[in-house]
Amino acid sequence: MQICKEIVAERRTYREIEHTHAHSHAQLILPLQGELSIKAGLQNLLIDQKTLFFVPPECTHTFHSAVRNEFLVLDIPHFMIPEGNMQRTGISHVFDKQWKSIRYLILHEIEQGQSSLNELYPYISRCLFKERHPKSIQYIHEHYDKNITVQQLAALEHYNRSYYSEWFLKETGKSPSVYIQEVRLNKAKELLRNTNLSIMHIAIQVGLEHQSSLTRLFQKYEGMSPSQYRKGDRDDVTNI
């Protein structure tokens, strides 16, 4: 396969027959029409009008489409990828207004002969690699008050359940269940310190069905009950 030495942007279509390959360059796939099924590493994703996908260098991926389709694809030389972002798995983003504007600019550059793609790329790169929590971790912080399953979290990252647990441990140093417990515990501490809500009410506020569940959580991590934690915190404030 020819080595990619500069950014190339072009419209491409994909066939119904599955094709698997890897290449030394990265690819950014933006939707124009239809949808594309792609498997990259352990991610299974449907790229449609709401989603875009980045395939890193040397990432084996399988793709096909059963419908009429067209995508805007950027081939990006590996040396243009920030070193800290040379990861094994792909990156998916919501295809929002910002990315629609980027697509418009790329299409314009294609019409003009692609002469300014290198100047446009730093902006694309910042949008693509901007620092962010993985979707599932962000979901935990926003929905700790609800029932959360590992299956739900795995689906947000497009991983199967068993791989997700391994990935999560590498990402955070903790299992999903322990991470969720700690988020709930920290929120409960905040409510105990700053409100007069009952222990039962606080338990419900942080996603636990029973007061006894919150008590067990405090005994496990703090070695005391929620009431003792609240009293101790207020005694500390009084003694300052």
Structural domains of the chain ordered from first start: 8-129 (2.60.120.10), 133-240 (1.10.10.60)
- The C-alpha angle with vertex 61 and arms to 56 and 63, in degrees rounded to 5, equals 125
Return the pLDDT at 152: 95
User: What distances in angstroms separate CA 52 from CA 154, 178, 204, one per listed residue?
Assistant: 19, 32, 38
Return the pLDDT at 131: 52
Sheet containing strand 19-21, edge to edge, reads 19-21, 61-64, 36-40, 43-47
Return the pLDDT at 104: 95
37: left (phi over 0), alpha (psi -120 to 50) or beta: beta
> Does the structure show a pLDDT above 60 at 1?
no
> Does the structure show a pLDDT above 60 at 235?
no
> Does the structure show a pLDDT above 50 at 194?
yes
pLDDT band at 40, cuts 50/70/90?
confident
Return the pLDDT at 198: 95
> Does the structure show a pLDDT above 80 at 238?
no
Q: Could you tell me which residues are beta bridge partners of residue 46?
A: 37
> Does the structure show a pLDDT above 90 at 16?
yes
Return the pLDDT at 146: 95
Report the share of the chain in percent with pLDDT over 70: 90
pLDDT band at 138, cuts 50/70/90?
confident
DSSP the chain: -PPP-S-EEEEE---SS-EEE--SSEEEEEEEES-EEEEETTEEEEE-TTEEEEE-TT--EEEE-SS--EEEEEEE-GGGS-GGG--SS-EEEE--HHHHHHHHHHHHHHHTTSTTHHHHHHHHHHHHH-----HHHHHHHHHTTS---HHHHHHHHT--HHHHHHHHHHHHSS-HHHHHHHHHHHHHHHHHHH----HHHHHHHTT-S-HHHHHHHHHHHTSS-HHHHHHHHHHHHHH-
Return the pLDDT at 5: 79
Return the pLDDT at 6: 87
Return the pLDDT at 112: 82
> Does the structure show a pLDDT above 80 at 4?
no
pLDDT band at 237, cuts 50/70/90?
very low
Report the share of the chain in percent with pLDDT over 90: 58
Q: Whole-model pTM?
A: 0.58
pLDDT digits (tens, 9 = 90+) for 47-88: 999 999 999 888 889 999 999 999 999 999 988 887 655 555
pLDDT digits (tens, 9 = 90+) for 78-131: 888 876 555 556 788 889 999 999 999 999 988 887 667 888 888 898 888 875
> Does the structure show a pLDDT above 70 at 239?
no
Return the pLDDT at 236: 46
Return the pLDDT at 233: 61
